[in-house]
Structure 1
């Protein structure tokens, strides 16, 4: 996904941000609000943004005031100032003619998007990950420093191995915030994602958020994920769930397919530059993952490229058989096709060469009250599958280099 480094005015200075753009048509815009003392670049934020861009959804990720590369002093911020920063992000995108319709918030960022959405009628959908129902919950992270903060007005605390100065204004603000009324007046679809074993923000917070919200609302468990969603498979799951859910509430209307590609363009885009995981999309409606087995350096989260080829052959074979049986009105109850791929010596395949070639083995199961003649005929029809013919006959691949981003 192309990523633009941008900045915009927050409530008290310039905020550093990244705008992740779709490689194809731009169909909608989202904002991701990070967790308490985190940044826009946490792995979960990057993965969710990458997945949404495959749907044509641009994603703005930004550092709240005083964090990351944004201006300001963190000690002078509060929950209310985070909400103001979110509102400024919406204003910035509106001014760029990219009005956001989806807000995603992680932890305290989740509480902030809930608060902000109640005042932003343009927002159609909100997703929270590990969000607290009571923003004051974050003070548990530095409870031992609260007496010093009360006595001196601020204190330095260590969070996630990094020092931060927390002010009394922040403590008072989060403790006084009540989210219930804002959640009840979201006027947007809500998805609550939370891990039962979250030891930073307990699962009961998700229950309170869900109960306070009106429909449409959804509750999804993140199973054994940690609060920061650090493991790749958990970030991938959250990204896929949010993307699939958001499509229902956003107007994602792609343009007509290009000339010469009646079914549209299939795009493969890296999901993890440190491995081989690929987001493969066909327009905005179809998405699958491709990967390599762990033995080959992948994470085994999707079919391998040859697995995808095998899947195409299997599906095409089954469809071709069904199409013929339906036209003949034959009693074919069910068809399944098993396909395996291997590299074999060409001489073993009868070509007279010692070079290796690709071999696909196909095992077709036909269920129903078919006679032997009908079965034999359907086996012949399998060889008329278009993918089968493409694999057996020579094909042409035309390659061009896209202009540098």
Structure 2
């Protein structure tokens, strides 16, 4: 996905570093992602979720809070409230770019921040939290052995995730004073709460408290055995899939009319994992699937192979064509399914450059219902009129051009 690097002034005018992940097609909406406590905009879960939303046509702004990642300012001088103010600054910057956000996503303490900030952002329609604490002061547990020293000296260096951070007394005072319950109850936005039951950093009871405090529409999805950072690729992929399905229900994603010469619009295939073969396959913002290769050929087996999609197109078209004909005739066809076998392996052909002259698809049509022999024979003939069948049997031309930069 294309990405723009941006900077904008944060709550105290220190410059914040950001990435705006852009759709490769029409821009239909904009989202903001708020990262976890002491994390950065580049954590794996944020990257995968941003890539999935960008494939739908949703641009995603990921930025580093003040004093973290590539952003300016001193972390020691920040608080939970300053994070909320940084979110507001990011929101105003996107509005100036004519990309007002309609979706907020927050991970861990970033989730608490978006819950507090959302009601002040007029264009936001939906909010998503991932492993978020109901009480911002929950974050103190990660360094509770150092609290006495912080309160005594005004600040102290603590180790978080193996890295040193200076935590100030003002930070502790601020998170302790913040109560999210009234902000959640007055959210007036669709809310999706995502949490892992085995999260040992922020317990699952936090998700329950957030969910109970919110008014409908609200949803809860478990992340099963994911860790707090959603660091495993399969967990990040699952979260991205759930978010994309949920978002489509609450955001109005209206793609432009198909361009001339593409009556069904454009199918866009975007690489999801540069280290493997996983691909996001989108037909407009609402129809998505994954393409991949089997484990034996270096893939992750999370989607059908390209040859699998080819066979699926033939099978689906065959089944639909038979159903349309039987419906028009009023024949008693109860169910129809089609088994398609294409005796080739995409990964193997891609390596060898196979140029077999003729491909053979074996298609077995299953029909149930009180059909007589003549009706069954006729429906088998109709299968051969399927448009995809006709396309495969005729000569086709593939025209390939290189897009301009």
Same fold at TM > 0.5 = yes
User: Which residue of the partner structure matches residue 10 of structure 1?
Assistant: 10
User: Which residue of the partner structure matches residue 351 of structure 2?
Assistant: none
CA contact (8 A) 1:121 1:187 kept: no
Find the aligned partners of 1:121 and 1:208 in 2 and give their Cα distance. Answer: 25
User: Which residue of the partner structure matches residue 349 of structure 1?
Assistant: none
Q: Secondary structure at the match of 2:259?
A: coil
CA contact (8 A) 1:339 1:363 kept: yes
User: Which residue of the partner structure matches residue 376 of structure 1?
Assistant: 377
Q: Secondary structure at the match of 2:288?
A: strand
- Map 1:67-146 to 2 at 5 A: 67-146=68-147
- Map 1:331-370 to 2 at 5 A: 331-343=332-344, 357-370=358-371
Superposition deviation, residue 359 in structure 1: 2.2
Superposition deviation, residue 332 in structure 1: 0.6
Deviation larger for 120-129 or 202-211: 120-129
User: Which residue of the partner structure matches residue 180 of structure 2?
Assistant: 179
Find the aligned partners of 2:178 and 2:397 in 1 and give their Cα distance. Answer: 63
User: Which residue of the partner structure matches residue 351 of structure 1?
Assistant: none
Deviation larger for 211-220 or 372-381: 372-381
Find the aligned partners of 1:72 and 1:280 in 2 and give their Cα distance. Answer: 40
Find the aligned partners of 1:148 and 1:356 in 2 and give their Cα distance. Answer: 77
Deviations 1:45-67 (A, max 9, x none): 01111111112111100000000
Find the aligned partners of 2:286 and 2:250 in 1 and give their Cα distance. Answer: 13
Deviations 1:243-268 (A, max 9, x none): 11112222211111100111100000
Segments of structure 2 that go 5 or more residues without pairing to the other structure are 346-354
User: Which residue of the partner structure matches residue 150 of structure 1?
Assistant: 151
Deviation larger for 323-332 or 8-17: 323-332
Q: Secondary structure at the match of 1:343?
A: coil
Superposition deviation, residue 121 in structure 1: 2.7
Q: Cα RMSD over matched residues?
A: 1.3
Q: Secondary structure at the match of 2:219?
A: strand
CA contact (8 A) 1:343 1:356 kept: no
Segments of structure 1 that go 5 or more residues without pairing to the other structure are 345-353
Superposition deviation, residue 393 in structure 1: 2.1
Find the aligned partners of 1:146 and 1:74 in 2 and give their Cα distance. Answer: 17
Deviations 1:206-250 (A, max 9, x none): 000000001110011111111000111111111111111112222
User: Which residue of the partner structure matches residue 347 of structure 1?
Assistant: none
Q: TM-score, normalised by structure 2?
A: 0.95
Find the aligned partners of 1:119 and 1:213 in 2 and give their Cα distance. Answer: 16
Deviation larger for 170-179 or 79-88: 170-179
Superposition deviation, residue 285 in structure 1: 1.9
CA contact (8 A) 1:93 1:100 kept: yes
Find the aligned partners of 2:124 and 2:379 in 1 and give their Cα distance. Answer: 53
Find the aligned partners of 2:279 and 2:344 in 1 and give their Cα distance. Answer: 24
- Cα separation, partners in 2 of 1:21 and 1:355, compared to 1, 3 Å: closer
In the alignment, does 2:61 pair up with 1:46? no
Q: Secondary structure at the match of 2:18?
A: strand
Deviations 1:88-125 (A, max 9, x none): 00000011111111100000000000000122232110
Q: Secondary structure at the match of 2:269?
A: strand
CA contact (8 A) 1:277 1:298 kept: yes
User: Which residue of the partner structure matches residue 258 of structure 1?
Assistant: 259
Q: Secondary structure at the match of 1:117?
A: helix
Find the aligned partners of 1:328 and 1:90 in 2 and give their Cα distance. Answer: 57
Find the aligned partners of 2:194 and 2:186 in 1 and give their Cα distance. Answer: 19
User: Which residue of the partner structure matches residue 65 of structure 1?
Assistant: 66
Superposition deviation, residue 314 in structure 1: 0.6
CA contact (8 A) 1:343 1:359 kept: no
Superposition deviation, residue 355 in structure 1: 5.0
Q: Secondary structure at the match of 1:181?
A: helix
User: Which residue of the partner structure matches residue 241 of structure 2?
Assistant: 240
Deviation larger for 76-85 or 377-386: 377-386
Find the aligned partners of 2:21 and 2:7 in 1 and give their Cα distance. Answer: 13
Deviations 1:108-154 (A, max 9, x none): 00000000012223211000000000111111111111111112111
User: Which residue of the partner structure matches residue 348 of structure 2?
Assistant: none
- After superposing on structure 2, the runs of 4+ consecutive aligned residues of structure 1 that deviate more than 6 Å are none
In the alignment, does 2:270 pair up with 1:272? no
Deviations 1:4-57 (A, max 9, x none): 011000012000000011111111111000000100000110111111111211
Find the aligned partners of 1:355 and 1:249 in 2 and give their Cα distance. Answer: 47
Q: Secondary structure at the match of 1:248?
A: helix
Find the aligned partners of 1:124 and 1:385 in 2 and give their Cα distance. Answer: 42
Q: TM-score, normalised by structure 1?
A: 0.95
Superposition deviation, residue 356 in structure 1: 6.5
Q: Secondary structure at the match of 2:290?
A: strand
User: Which residue of the partner structure matches residue 190 of structure 1?
Assistant: 191
- Cα separation, partners in 2 of 1:48 and 1:355, compared to 1, 3 Å: closer
